[in-house]
Structure 1
Amino acid sequence: MSRDPLTIIAEVLGEPADQMRNPVNAGYQCPFINSVCTKRSQRMQGSYPVCSIYRKGIQHCVCPKRFYQADLVADVLAHCWPGTPPTAPQIAYEVQMKGFGMVDLVIAELDDANAVRAFVSVELQAVDITGSVEPAYQSLLGNAQVEGKISYGLNWANVRKRYVSQLISKGFYHHHWGSKIVSVLQEPLYAQFRHYIPFDELDPKSATSNVVFMLYDFQDDAERGAPHRRLAFTRAIGTSHNSLMTGALYRTPPDRAVFCQRILERLNRE
């Protein structure tokens, strides 16, 4: 059984996979951060520059740096900033603090004394992979078919459990700071969040929304033409840390009778 790796690997170093079969010749330079790709795999040495993959025909971003293709700052100012956005925003990358963690970037407005007047934090989140697409990547580099069965999927549950708890905490901090945290996601990942967590959807600029989901999805690149694609802004949706927490903790419970039946099944086995 063989399979074309191009049905699995969508992009390498930001390029369509069939146009980037030898990333070493490109110095593993990521065009979105203007430096060597920082993505790694436990199974291989050096960069693992797979930006996006296909799963059931849908292109999924698997590296958060991929979102830097979009004009994130302009999108935050236009769709998420509360009140009048600053005319000279300052950008700080990878801001971290003990007891808080790290955010990918902070957009800040400074006053005449260079003190921070207002700010909005931004986090980038891609989906995790279960299994591995590394055999497909290696086959792509070797201009060969993937031989044998390749098993991989998208680990929606892991991202949801890990990331939403972080957003609740950081949303709480930003609420007390009188600010917002913006979570940059692809549409399919947001749909998974909403399927499992029924949180409120609010005006992203309202005072009650301290967490904002800024959503993107892959579209054909009108400037470069097919098969190039880009992550384009689709919409911004606000919510609150309280709503996220309530939705995550107090979901509709499963059927008690079904659970009791599972108890009896286990007892009857012993």
Structure 2
Amino acid sequence: MAKISKSRSLVEIFGYNPTDITQIARQFWQLNACPFIGKACSKYDHTNTICYGTCSVSNGGQNVIICPNRLYADCYATIKRVSSEVFGDAQFLLFDEYIKKVTETGTSLDCVVALGQNSGKEVKLSKMSMDWVLAHIVDGALTSYVGIEVQSIDITGNYRDSWYAARDQKMNIPPSRHGLNWANVHKRLIPQIIRKSLVYSKSRLVKQGLYFIVPEPVYQRFEEIIGNDIPLVQEGGKDVISVHTYDLGPLPVSGTTRTLTEARTLKFKLDEFSSRFINGPNLPSGESLDGKIRGILSCR
């Protein structure tokens, strides 16, 4: 069996361990396909010629999911979990399933319809694209809905040598040279969550605010900015952000994919989250900035 470097490494490629040489694992390599959404993989190199298919990597002793589609395992189980939490036993349908049901039964449905990139289309509003909207339909009418944001983390650097060694089934897979773009947490991810939550909180049809599905290691970087002591609430509301974090399960047997495991569930007020982002407990002091500038200017 091939050996993977214990430093930074690729954890999943096209859904499977990079050293998995079973027929089913290699079929996904050959097809450039994603086993979690049942479609072609979209993770290409910058020239758009090589499909890398990397789902997750190791970083600092943690396995980190780098592709949002990885969070849709088991037929969108993470999305269905939100549907169940908000709308109870109402039937969950992807958009194509909904169209088929309407054709067969007319409008006499009590169901939840998922609208997103892989189901119908994303809801786009004022240059913002909502990842998922779960719409509760009763007798053909929209009665309420809830929004879901799904995030992973972007990668930096390259892992070309590691990837080719895995593809070519080499006995030793060298360390990856990737990094993770943690700066995006405060530059892009947190502002997106705040802005989208504000939009949902103003709707008369929204009762449960925004749900945020994210890998546990990524949310830990959120806590480095907002603190890990944000006051939690027990009940949802249109001004509440609900967070579901996930980790990868243990290394599976060959020919199977890793499970997704529920790590944490948190609920907190949008106003508290926004305030902590602007004035958070880990915000550097003015004195720190003064000292940094003096230090630069004093260099000879």
Label 1:206 to 1:4 Cα distance change in 2 as closer, same or farther (>3 A): closer
The residue aligned with 2:126 is 99
Question: Do the aligned residues in 2 keep the contact of 1:201 with 1:237 (CA within 8 Å)?
Answer: no
* 1:18 alignment partner, SS class: coil
Residue 28, structure 1, aligned to residue 32, structure 2: yes
The residue aligned with 2:44 is 40
The residue aligned with 2:259 is 230
String of CA shifts for 1:181-233, please: whole Å, max 9, x gaps: 211101111111012113734346422643221111111378x6897421122
- 1:164 CA displacement: 0.8
Whole-Å separation in 1 of the counterparts to 2:239 and 2:35: 33
1:27 partner amino acid: L
Question: Do the aligned residues in 2 keep the contact of 1:131 with 1:153 (CA within 8 Å)?
Answer: yes
1:39 partner amino acid: K
The residue aligned with 2:148 is 122
- 1:108 CA displacement: 1.4
Pairing of 1:1-270 with structure 2 (within 5 A): 4=4, 8-19=9-20, 22=26, 26-42=30-46, 45-70=49-74, 71-79=77-85, 81=86, 84=88, 86-87=90-91, 88-94=111-117, 95-99=122-126, 101-112=128-139, 114-144=140-170, 145=172, 150-177=176-203, 178-179=206-207, 180-198=209-227, 200-203=230-233, 205-207=235-237, 209-220=239-250, 228-252=257-281, 253-269=283-299
Question: Do the aligned residues in 2 keep the contact of 1:5 with 1:140 (CA within 8 Å)?
Answer: no
1:42 partner amino acid: H
Whole-Å separation in 2 of the counterparts to 1:219 and 1:119: 31
Q: How many residues align?
A: 263
Whole-Å separation in 1 of the counterparts to 2:251 and 2:235: 29
String of CA shifts for 1:77-131, please: whole Å, max 9, x gaps: 344x1x756342222223222315222322111122x221111122211122221
* 1:215 alignment partner, SS class: strand
Whole-Å separation in 2 of the counterparts to 1:220 and 1:261: 46
* Structure 1 unaligned blocks of 5 or more: none
Whole-Å separation in 2 of the counterparts to 1:143 and 1:171: 45
Whole-Å separation in 2 of the counterparts to 1:63 and 1:255: 35
Of 187-196 and 103-112, the range deviating more from structure 2: 103-112
Whole-Å separation in 2 of the counterparts to 1:187 and 1:17: 22
- 1:74 CA displacement: 2.9
Percentage of matched positions with identical amino acids: 21
Whole-Å separation in 1 of the counterparts to 2:238 and 2:132: 22
Whole-Å separation in 1 of the counterparts to 2:166 and 2:254: 22
Q: TM-score, normalised by structure 1?
A: 0.83
Label 1:47 to 1:137 Cα distance change in 2 as closer, same or farther (>3 A): same
* 1:217 alignment partner, SS class: strand
- 1:10 CA displacement: 1.0
String of CA shifts for 1:139-186, please: whole Å, max 9, x gaps: 211233456x75322222213320110111100011011342211101
2:133 partner amino acid: V
- 1:238 CA displacement: 1.7
Of 253-262 and 168-177, the range deviating more from structure 2: 253-262
* Structure 2 unaligned blocks of 5 or more: 92-110
1:73 partner amino acid: I
